[in-house]
């Protein structure tokens, strides 16, 4: 009995999807000579033109659109993007790209476009967006509290560097040792982009590698230090 072309393709696909055949195919493709051949084939102008022509066909476009609309495909693509961005070399490249003046200028101009400005405003007003931003900032703040508590107070738990309070992180604050406005004149911090007008200090500290000049104090010690003449808490180095 002669089988149809569709039946033959279906059976061939079924054979290819068997675990043992997939394993063999993966081993074959990973051989250095086959990798080299595939790269040369991909760069061949003739094959590039063929692929382009094939991708422009209406039935191919329809199939691709249908495949890309499935939840499984979207989930896989999202995970692939996360894995790709998490690679050390890509993290480094992205950081360098975002820190460049050219990128900052383009990003600034883009944010000023009325349509983009409206979209950003709408996104920022969503409850889920606000909740996520708050959660992310709390995690960053906790990292900063942990770091300075460990470095200055030798404590694994976030605590006040003056009185040692460690009952809850909500009672703790990030303190400017030399004073918030006085640190505007410290060149090493100015070079990093420090300013007393920074709104989210924890984010800035984390982004700049935990620079010196900051400590963790409870709100009571921080308030007392701010109102003292010598910029020191009255209870510093005294038994509480």
Residue 33 sits at the vertex; the CA angle it makes with 30 and 37, to the nearest 5 degrees, is 95
Q: What is the pLDDT of residues 5-19, one digit of tens each?
A: 788 778 888 888 888
Domain ranges (residues) in the chain: 98-240
Higher pLDDT, 236 or 93: 93
pLDDT at position 130 is 92
The alpha carbon of residue 147 and the mean position of all alpha carbons in its chain are separated, in whole angstroms, by 20
Beta-carbon neighbour count of residue 124 at 10 Å? Answer: 10
Residue 4 has pLDDT above 80, yes or no: no
Residues 6+ apart with CB under 8 A from 124: 130
CA distance 211 to 217: 17
Q: Is 174 helix (H, G, I), strand (E, B) or coil?
A: strand
pLDDT at position 2 is 59
Say which DSSP state 185 is in: G
Say which DSSP state 170 is in: G
pLDDT-derived band at 140, boundaries 50, 70, 90: very high
CA distance 209 to 174: 15
pLDDT at position 158 is 93
pLDDT at position 239 is 53
pLDDT at position 163 is 86
CB 148 within 8 A of CB 210: yes
For the chain, list the strands marked E by DSSP. 172-176, 214-218
> Average pLDDT over the chain, rounded to whole?
88
Q: What is the pLDDT of residues 64-111, one digit of tens each?
A: 999 999 999 999 999 999 999 999 999 989 888 888 888 889 988 998
Q: What is the pLDDT of residues 198-225, one digit of tens each?
A: 888 999 999 889 999 999 999 999 988 8
Tell whether the torsion through CA atoms of 108, 110, 114 and 118 is positive or negative: negative
Tell whether the torsion through CA atoms of 41, 44, 46 and 51 is positive or negative: positive
Provide the CB-side half-sphere exposure for 171 (13 A, CA): 13
Residue 236 backbone zone (phi > 0: left; psi -120 to 50: alpha; other: beta): beta
Residues 6+ apart with CB under 8 A from 94: 85
CA dihedral of residues 190, 192, 197, 202 (deg, nearest 10): -140
pLDDT at position 190 is 86
pLDDT-derived band at 240, boundaries 50, 70, 90: low
Task: Report, as an integer, the average pLDDT of 18-42.
Answer: 89
pLDDT-derived band at 61, boundaries 50, 70, 90: very high
What is the percent of the chain where pLDDT is above 90? 45
What does 155-188 look like in DSSP terms, one character per residue?
-SS---TTT---S-GGGEEEEETT-TTGGGG-HH
Residue 128 sits at the vertex; the CA angle it makes with 126 and 131, to the nearest 5 degrees, is 110
Task: Report, as an integer, the average pLDDT of 20-44.
Answer: 89
CB 186 within 8 A of CB 177: no
């Amino acid at each position: 009995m002669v089988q149809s072309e569709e039946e033959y393709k279906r059976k061939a696909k079924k054979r290819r999807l068997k675990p043992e055949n997939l394993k063999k195919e993966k081993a074959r493709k990973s051989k250095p000579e086959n990798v080299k051949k595939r790269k040369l084939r991909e760069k061949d102008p003739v094959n590039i033109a063929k692929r382009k022509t094939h991708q422009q066909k209406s039935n191919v476009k329809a199939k691709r659109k249908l495949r890309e609309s499935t939840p499984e495909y979207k989930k896989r693509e999202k995970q692939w993007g996360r894995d790709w961005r998490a690679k050390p070399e890509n993290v480094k490249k992205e950081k360098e790209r975002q820190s460049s003046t050219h990128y900052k200028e383009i990003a600034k101009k883009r944010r000023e476009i009325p349509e983009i400005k409206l979209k950003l405003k709408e996104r920022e007003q969503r409850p889920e967006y606000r909740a996520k931003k708050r959660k992310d900032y709390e995690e960053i703040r906790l990292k900063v509290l942990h770091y300075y508590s460990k470095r200055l107070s030798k404590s694994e738990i976030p605590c006040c560097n003056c009185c040692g309070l460690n009952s809850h992180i909500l009672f703790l604050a990030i303190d400017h040792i030399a004073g918030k406005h006085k640190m505007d004149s410290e060149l090493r911090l100015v070079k990093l982009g420090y300013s007393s007008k920074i709104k989210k200090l924890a984010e800035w500290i984390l982004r700049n590698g935990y620079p010196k000049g900051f400590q963790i104090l409870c709100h009571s010690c921080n308030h007392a230090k701010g109102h003292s003449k010598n910029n020191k808490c009255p209870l510093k180095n005294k038994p509480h």
